[in-house]
Structure 1
């Protein structure tokens, strides 16, 4: 049966009245008063972001505002946007890096902290790291190495760590003369920042270890090898690998009695510490003095144990190479001749690099003058 227009309207009104009364009884619509509170998804500390392509230009303008609150809100909003690599690319093109460099000198603590955070997030993207080199951000950041706020310094070292993963970035840190400062800070910073500094130093010293060797880096790293923090021990040994590549580095590792400590670390419960300690020994024992220092510290026995017991390929590879260096000394060769069978087993290892290292070790051990 068809309803007349008046009947249809009457029925619709009755249904709405029923729903409203039901909601009122449940307490969900006690009154029609509008709340004075903001919706829960609005952040009052963050600047409003313009729509589409106007978002970053608007924020960049606010970054240069004379009003402190405007700068702070713009930085908080920018930190959120920089997680997207597309925004990073656009931000670099419109001059946000220059604005952030200026804000690093701001007298307000929050502005400096958020500026370094924005740069740190930018440095996690490859396009951001390239932009850093083009806009000379490395030197500008170095002004905050002694900032009173730990968070600010941590953001700075996070930035350098990511930047150093790029060979040109590591070279940039070296060229800007920051290695002595980083070594100096390594002895004075908090543990979490020490780890970041070590992560930065390792690739930088692979590029050039000269300034580190002139800054007493080896005695500092020797101290870090004795740290109770296994991450610091591991990363310090990794930096020693890099610093031991040049001859002067090998000589300093021997002169400062670092080799006995590296031998002790071969028995460390952490596999990464074992691997890096064996790697550092591999380079340090290239020289005759290094070989005999390791033999005097009885390095062969723990190195052989690593070949038998370790399940980590990196540990076995570095230990094999270190033993090859020790086999070049007559005393080491004589001792290892009874253990050739161990290296024969390694020739069948799943890793081709270990197979090759084992063949070279056997050739050295079985060599006769």
Structure 2
């Protein structure tokens, strides 16, 4: 499926010439001075060279610990020139891929000024900012920093208006943040936004939205909100999706929501059981595991057990599955389905 991708090409009127590197230990100090130069072309050239230079992890350590490049890049985030912001965010994204770089985000308070670029007029700047933020939140201190900066409501709002490519990064960032705090997301209306994205044309976004519904459904209020927002009918629809990752994440979300009685009966009413039973023999072990676990929770309701009982032999066959996790899940499912008072 063809989708619009954000170009990384510089504007045609920009001089792409890189700043010449000084020799040895003088290279980074010279670049750092040029990052602060009042001449625009000097800043642009220095950033071009810096982005290439930072691909060596040893250079990242020197740039951050010895030269103070982090503070210079932070200042350039508010530069009036779009190309400077483009390359500054690219440099920060490169840095965010390393522990020492992620520490610098916290130590130099870069998270908030970087978030200001979520409103930038240039797609490439916004994309780089979100890529850096997503990379940062993959690790606990970074996710904690984003949560403490109260960026979750802003990220949820951006999901409504951003281009699809950037939506993918936002959904990932929220996924990592919701491991720490689901309350901000619930208050911001994230469940409504995720539910709307469940039927998006992109399978990547459908899968990530279903995963985020599952994350947000961990607390009791999240399970209740999923039922109120009619998330389950859309999740049931995704159980027959062509993409295995979408099917897996949808089954996982149903599994999480149906822990409560309200969730069980809402899912049964939405026709979840017949669709889940079809996935017992899915080619993906992750899909089989999540489907069988979801069937188990639904079988705890008398109506669910009655509906699943006629398919218990199909589930019993999975006790000889090649996946040990599926075998264990199938054994538990058979016990629950065949239980008698």
The Cα offsets for residues 28-77 of structure 1, whole Å up to 9 and x where unpaired, read as: xxxxxxxxxxxxxxx96110111222211111111111222111111110
Instruction: Measure the CA separation in 2 of the matches of 1:361 and 1:54.
Output: 66
Q: How does 1:283-362 map to 2 (within 5 A)?
A: 283-308=256-281, 310-362=282-334
Aligned length: 326
Q: Establish whether residue 55 from structure 1 lines up as the match of residue 27 from structure 2.
A: yes
Equivalent pair of 1:282/1:322 in contact (CA under 8 Å)? yes
- Tell me the equivalent position of 1:92: 64
From 64, 79, 84, the counterpart of 1:106: 79
Larger Rg: 1 or 2?
Answer: 1
Between 1 and 2, higher relative CO (CA 8 Å, sep ≥ 6) is seen in 2
Q: Establish whether residue 133 from structure 1 lines up as the match of residue 78 from structure 2.
A: no
From 222, 244, 251, the counterpart of 1:271: 244
- Tell me the equivalent position of 1:211: 184
Q: How does 1:207-246 map to 2 (within 5 A)?
A: 207-246=180-219
Q: Establish whether residue 45 from structure 1 lines up as the match of residue 7 from structure 2.
A: no
Instruction: Measure the CA separation in 2 of the matches of 1:156 and 1:283.
Output: 32
Instruction: Measure the CA separation in 1 of the matches of 2:280 and 2:85.
Output: 50
What TM-score comes out, normalization by structure 1 length?
0.86
Q: How does 1:17-32 map to 2 (within 5 A)?
A: none
1:339 deviates by 2.2
Name the CA shift for 1:142/1:298 in 2 (closer, same or farther; >3 Å): same
- Tell me the equivalent position of 1:11: none
**Over aligned residues, Cα RMSD in angstroms?**
1.3
Instruction: Measure the CA separation in 1 of the matches of 2:199 and 2:304.
Output: 27
Equivalent pair of 1:291/1:326 in contact (CA under 8 Å)? yes
Q: How does 1:155-166 map to 2 (within 5 A)?
A: 155-166=128-139
Instruction: Measure the CA separation in 1 of the matches of 2:255 and 2:132.
Output: 31
Equivalent pair of 2:235/2:250 in contact (CA under 8 Å)? yes
Q: Tell me, what secondary structure is at the counterpart of 2:321?
A: coil
- Tell me the equivalent position of 1:122: 95
Equivalent pair of 1:101/1:140 in contact (CA under 8 Å)? yes
Q: Tell me, what secondary structure is at the counterpart of 2:289?
A: helix
Instruction: Measure the CA separation in 2 of the matches of 1:199 and 1:254.
Output: 23
Equivalent pair of 2:280/2:288 in contact (CA under 8 Å)? yes
Q: Establish whether residue 152 from structure 1 lines up as the match of residue 125 from structure 2.
A: yes
- Tell me the equivalent position of 2:222: 249
Equivalent pair of 2:198/2:206 in contact (CA under 8 Å)? yes
Runs of 4 or more, structure 1, over 6 Å off, are none
- Tell me the equivalent position of 2:253: 280
Instruction: Measure the CA separation in 2 of the matches of 1:98 and 1:353.
Output: 48
Equivalent pair of 2:264/2:297 in contact (CA under 8 Å)? yes
249-258 vs 329-338, greater mean Cα deviation: 329-338
The Cα offsets for residues 241-300 of structure 1, whole Å up to 9 and x where unpaired, read as: 110101111000001111011001101111111000000001111111110011011111
Q: Establish whether residue 195 from structure 1 lines up as the match of residue 168 from structure 2.
A: yes
1:196 deviates by 1.1
Equivalent pair of 2:16/2:48 in contact (CA under 8 Å)? no
What TM-score comes out, normalization by structure 2 length?
0.93
